[in-house]
Amino acid sequence: MPQVVLDTLRELQEADRELRRLTQEKAAHDRTVRVRAGQLEAQQAAIETLRAKRLEARKKADQKELEVREKQAEIQRLRTQQTQIKDNRQFAVLQNEIKFAELSITKLEDDILADYEDIEAVEAEIAQDKAKLQKQQGELDALRNEVEAKKDEVDREIEACRSRCDDIARALPREVVDKFNRIADHLDGEVLAAVVRDLDDGTFACGGCHMSVTQNTYVLLRGRTEKLVTCPNCTRILYVPDD
């Protein structure tokens, strides 16, 4: 392959690398925004879970307070009955029922106090999470503004780089460009590799995958072969670097 083609391919590779770098940079920015937005949604979901927990605790406390009022009304009814009977045995039975109701009230009031302590703890968690949410929202807004501010510039750079790749590719045969694109897609833009020589033993290797390359291949490349020579291992297009 004429040296001018290899030189053009090396130029195309540099342009393609830059295009890939810019595209990956833009994708990374978008990915970062999505990750931060996901974290924000997770924080909001956590707050909603805590709110549901608080509501459930309040329902339990309300139910127990209702039971306390019912027990208090029962005690009042039993005491009224006590004033209306003369039999000591029946009086004692009612008194036991009153004591049992009072014990139930004490237990319910202890439970209610524990429920309200739980509610206070949950409310403290909600307050902390809301503060985190507000901070995360501010960070996300700042990040979105930063990405948006860079978006037009990055898009212009990508378009200019893509145009440069197209201009370079037009100077090459169609089949060479197709081969370049296939290798570039497979090896993330690393299409060409220099043949490197081990100064100790004189052997040759592909500069991309570091697998051995025959001396005949090196000689072929030195002779400015009319064909593209690829590494038998990684398929990169080989070239001999300038002395």
Q: Tell me the domain boundaries of the chain.
A: 18-171, 191-239
Write out the two tokens for 146: 């930063």
What confidence score (pLDDT) does residue 61 get?
Answer: 95
Residue pair 47/183 in contact by the 8 Å Cβ criterion:
no
Say if residue 233's pLDDT is above 90: yes
Mean pLDDT over the full length of the chain: 92
Give the full edge-to-edge strand order of the sheet including 204-206: 212-213, 204-206, 192-197, 237-239
Distance CA 185, CA 191 (A): 9
Assigned CATH class of 18-171:
mainly alpha
What confidence score (pLDDT) does residue 225 get?
Answer: 62
Say if residue 80's pLDDT is above 60: yes
- The DSSP call for residue 223 is T
Cβ atoms < 10 Å from Cβ of 53:
16
Say if residue 143's pLDDT is above 60: yes
- The secondary structure of the chain in percent helix, strand, coil, rounded to multiples of 5, reads 75, 5, 20
Query: Cα-Cα-Cα-Cα dihedral of 111, 113, 119, 125, to 10°?
Result: -110
Residues 6 or more apart whose CB falls under 8 angstroms from that of 85 comprise 91, 94
Distance CA 193, CA 187 (A): 12
Distance CA 127, CA 40 (A): 15
Residue pair 209/234 in contact by the 8 Å Cβ criterion:
yes
Share of the chain above pLDDT 90, in %: 76
pTM of the model: 0.64
Question: Which contacts qualify for 224-233: CB closer than 8 Å, 24 or more apart?
Answer: 224/1, 224/2, 224/3, 225/1, 226/1, 226/2, 227/1, 228/1, 228/176, 228/179, 229/1, 231/193, 231/206, 233/206, 233/209
What confidence score (pLDDT) does residue 85 get?
Answer: 86
Residue pair 4/172 in contact by the 8 Å Cβ criterion:
no
